[in-house]
């Protein structure tokens, strides 16, 4: 038999254990792998950034968790660094980013990408793509992928050469032309012309 002083403490312990199953554990917060990659890139560890983003792609099966920021950041960094060994993966990462189901989640990023492609589109196509984005219509993903697949000069290769060339041009103009907010590339008008037509 327990002494009378211990009974209240024992009852409290029994009650706590009885209701412990009702308390939900804290959710595990997954790291933002896009931001982790950006931090590595900004600290000069660009290859580590690429590895983080590749791991993000490999660990994400659900299209609702796909992050287009990662695919875009990957291809931008690879082409800026002229890391040709990563060009095949850059094409894959870019297209992976446009398998997402929730366009609204990354609406600003997707809109910026439409604006980067817009000089290569007709005005009607650009408006159509922006409408699809506003409607959260995932047909936009297919429009973006289809656009680059049609432009690919060597469809049998693992690299989408036209997509890579587009991003190489963007890297070139950001490095060569005056910095201005006049267009999506952050350059003066010469940058816009170069991205559209090349040298």
Residue 68 Cα distances to 33, 130, 175, 189, angstroms:
12, 16, 24, 27
Domain coordinates of the chain in residue numbers?
30-197
pLDDT of amino acid 28: 44
pLDDT of amino acid 179: 84
**What's the full length of the chain, in residues?**
199
pLDDT of amino acid 8: 56
- Token pair of 107, please? 């609406």
The pLDDT averaged over each successive group of 10 residues in the chain (199 residues) is 57 51 48 93 98 92 83 98 98 95 92 97 98 96 97 95 98 90 87 91
Which residues make Cβ contacts (< 8 Å) with residue 23, sequence separation at least 6?
none
pLDDT of amino acid 181: 81
Which residue spans within the chain are E strands per DSSP?
Answer: none
């Amino acid at each position: 038999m327990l002494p009378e002083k211990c009974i209240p403490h024992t009852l409290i312990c029994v009650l706590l254990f009885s209701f412990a199953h009702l308390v939900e554990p804290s959710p595990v917060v997954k790291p933002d792998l896009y931001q982790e990659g950006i931090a590595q890139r900004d600290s000069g560890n660009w290859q580590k950034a690429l590895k983080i983003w590749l791991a993000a792609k490999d660990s994400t099966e659900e299209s609702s968790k796909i992050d287009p920021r990662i695919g875009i950041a990957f291809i931008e960094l690879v082409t800026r660094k002229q890391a040709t060994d990563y060009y095949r993966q850059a094409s894959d990462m870019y297209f992976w980013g446009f398998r997402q189901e929730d366009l609204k989640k990354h609406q600003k990023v997707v809109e910026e990408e439409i604006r980067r492609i817009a000089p290569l589109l007709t005005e009607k196509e650009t408006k159509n793509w922006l409408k699809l984005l506003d409607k959260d219509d995932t047909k936009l993903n297919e429009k973006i992928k289809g656009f680059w697949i049609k432009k690919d000069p060597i469809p049998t290769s693992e690299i989408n050469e036209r997509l890579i060339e587009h991003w190489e041009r963007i890297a070139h103009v950001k490095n060569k032309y005056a910095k201005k907010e006049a267009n999506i590339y952050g350059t003066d008008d010469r940058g816009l012309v170069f991205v559209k037509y090349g040298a």
